Structure formats: C-alpha cells, structure tokens
Amino acid sequence: MSKAITDSLKKPSEAFMRPVRSFVLRQGRLTKGQQLALDELWPVYGIPHGDSPLNMEQLFKNPGSVTLEIGFGDGVSLASMAKASPDTNFIGIEVHRPGVGRLLHLIQEYGLNNVRVMDEDAVEIIRRRIPETSLDRVQLFFPDPWHKKRHNKRRIVQPDFVSLIASRLKPSGVFHLATDWEPYAQHMAVVMEAHEQFVSLAETPFSPRPAERPVTKFENRGLKLGHGVWDLLYKKVCAGS
Ligand SMILES: C[S@@+](CC[C@H](N)C(=O)[O-])C[C@H]1O[C@@H](n2cnc3c(N)ncnc32)[C@H](O)[C@@H]1O
C-alpha cells in the first residue's frame, strides 16, 4: 500500500469527525404537562424537521419583523417578550426537550400567534434552514459558558458562528448577546469587535440591558451567585462602511 493511502487511513475523514457542539443533551425528566404540550402543541407551533429553507411570510400570520432566539432554555423570557411585542414574530431554537415543552405550553397559555419553535442544533438549523438576510434580530441569552479552558472551544460564540449570524441578518439587523460569566463576556467582546460586519450600539462593547429583555432563568441563577451581567448589542453594517 502506498504511503499516501496509509496516511489517509490514519487521518479520520471529516465525514466521521464529530462536530464540536455547544451543548450536551441532558434531557431530564419531562413533566406530564411538558409531555402533553409536546404531543399536542408541537404539531401546531413546532416547525417540522426537514431541509427546506423557511419562508418567513408563510410561517407567520402577521408580516412583522422576525427575531430568532438561540437556546431559549425554559422559554419563560421568550414567551413574555412575545406577549409584550405581538407585532414581532419570534422563532425559538432549543435542544432541551423539557424547555421546548414548557415554551409550547406558554404559547398556548398566553394565546400567542407570533412564536414558532425548532428543536435541533441551532448552528445546523441556521446554516441549513434560515435564508440569508431574513432576520431582523438574533438573541443569544446566557449561552453555556463552558468555564474550563479545555472546553472553551465549545462556546457557541466563535468567529465563524458570528459570520453565520451576520449572513442571516438583514442590513442594520441586531445581534443581542448577554452573559453572566465575565471571561465569556470578554471573549464575546473580542470576537464581536474583530468582526467587520458588526458595530456596537454603545460606545463600548457593552450596552445597558434594554428594558424589553426580561431577566432570564439562568441570569437569575447567576445573580444569586453574585455574578455580574453583560449585554452586548451589535448592529450589522456593510463590511468596510
Ligand atoms: C445556560 S442555558 C440558558 C437558557 C436561557 N437562555 C436562559 O437565559 O435562561 C443555555 C441553553 O442553550 C441551549 N443550547 C446550547 N447550545 C445550543 C444549540 N447549538 N442549539 C440549540 N440550543 C442550544 C441549551 O440546551 C440550554 O438550554
């Protein structure tokens, strides 16, 4: 066998390498209410799995702006934002099934018709199903901080991910990030400042928390531990402008 072939056998092909994911699936126990919501409400508010790009006009009854939230957790803050802004359409993506069930339940309880839900890896979904320049806003609140240095590569905020978000936002669309973990806040600031398609809405990388962002479950947890909170709001600009 030639050396080239033996070398290629040693290297795992990309097709067999597992992607670095920003989450670990710990499904936990579903409450009866969450299971019922998944069974009965997923067909109404869930976006079926598939490969076809989403058509925002067909997805929502109102032609309003579209906000995408990545990793909505238990969905309480997303549901309350959607309730407070009936003219804005929301797509929530979350891999944790109990959280998906909880949000479905809240959508029904609040009578919302401006929220649709997806339950797969947001990075893959955005790449595959969210059309370019189709979003007005993307929100990423308290993403898993992956504290240990050897796990930092699992943080969702990386230059390639930020480029992906830029490609899906409309011109002047906003990417809103928040975290309670200072080293992650610094990392976010470095990545966002280095990106030529984003400028901070404040004079520094960090903005005051906008009144419309509710305090989230993980934010509350951080506050109880004495953590600070950092919001970053960045507007998409044309490269070079
Ligand atoms: C630390 S929790 C924060 C939840 C919520 N935003 C809050 O502030 O309470 C991060 C959430 O992001 C979800 N998540 C992480 N990576 C994800 C991905 N690639 N796609 C979808 N959800 C993801 C996790 O399942 C988890 O529920």
Mean pLDDT of 175-179: 98
> Long-range contacts made by residues 124-131, C-beta under 8 angstroms, separation at least 24?
125/93, 126/68, 126/70, 126/93, 126/164, 126/165, 126/168, 127/164, 128/51, 128/53, 129/50, 129/51, 129/52, 129/53, 129/54, 130/53, 130/54, 130/68, 130/168, 131/53, 131/54, 131/56, 131/168
Cβ(145) to ligand 1 under 6 A?
A: no
Q: Confirm whether 74 is a catalytic residue.
A: no
For the entire predicted model, the pTM comes to 0.92
Residue 18 predicted with pLDDT over 90: no
Q: Of residues 144, 160, 180, 231, which has the active-site annotation? A: 144
What is the whole-number distance in angstroms between the Cα of residue 70 and the centre of ligand 1? 7
Cβ(176) to ligand 1 under 6 A?
A: no
Secondary structure letter of residue 14 according to DSSP: G
Phi, psi of 6 (to 5 degrees): -65, -35
Which residue is closest in CA terms to ligand 1's atom 23?
Answer: 71
What is the whole-number distance in angstroms between the Cα of residue 172 and the centre of ligand 1? 25
What's the gap between Cα 99 and its chain centre?
14
Alpha helices in 15-96 (DSSP H): 32-45, 56-59, 76-84
Cβ(100) to ligand 1 under 6 A?
A: no
Indicate the domain borders of the chain: 23-236
Local confidence band at 14 (pLDDT 50, 70, 90 cut-offs): very low
The pLDDT of residue 186 is 98
The pLDDT of residue 176 is 98
Cβ(60) to ligand 1 under 6 A?
A: no
Which residue is closest in CA terms to ligand 1's atom 1?
Answer: 144
Given phi > 0 = left and psi -120 to 50 = alpha, else beta, which region is 186?
Answer: alpha
Pair type for strands 230-236 and 198-200? antiparallel
Mean pLDDT of 141-158: 94
Tokens 């970053």 belong to 232
**Using CA atoms, how far apart are residues 127 and 1, in angstroms rounded to an integer?**
39
Q: What is the pLDDT of residues 87-118, one digit of tens each?
A: 999 999 999 999 999 999 999 999 999 999 99
**Using CA atoms, how far apart are residues 7 and 2, in angstroms rounded to an integer?**
9
**Using CA atoms, how far apart are residues 190 and 158, in angstroms rounded to an integer?**
10
What's the gap between Cα 118 and its chain centre?
11
**Using CA atoms, how far apart are residues 138 and 140, in angstroms rounded to an integer?**
7
Three-state DSSP at 18 gives coil
- Ligand 1, pocket-test mutation among 24, 90, 94, most atoms within 8 A of CB: 94
What is the whole-number distance in angstroms between the Cα of residue 143 and the centre of ligand 1? 5
Instruction: Give the tokens for residue 124.
Output: 């893959």
Cβ(180) to ligand 1 under 6 A?
A: no
Cβ(122) to ligand 1 under 6 A?
A: yes
- Topology adopted by domain 23-236: Rossmann fold (3.40.50)
What is the whole-number distance in angstroms between the Cα of residue 94 and the centre of ligand 1? 6
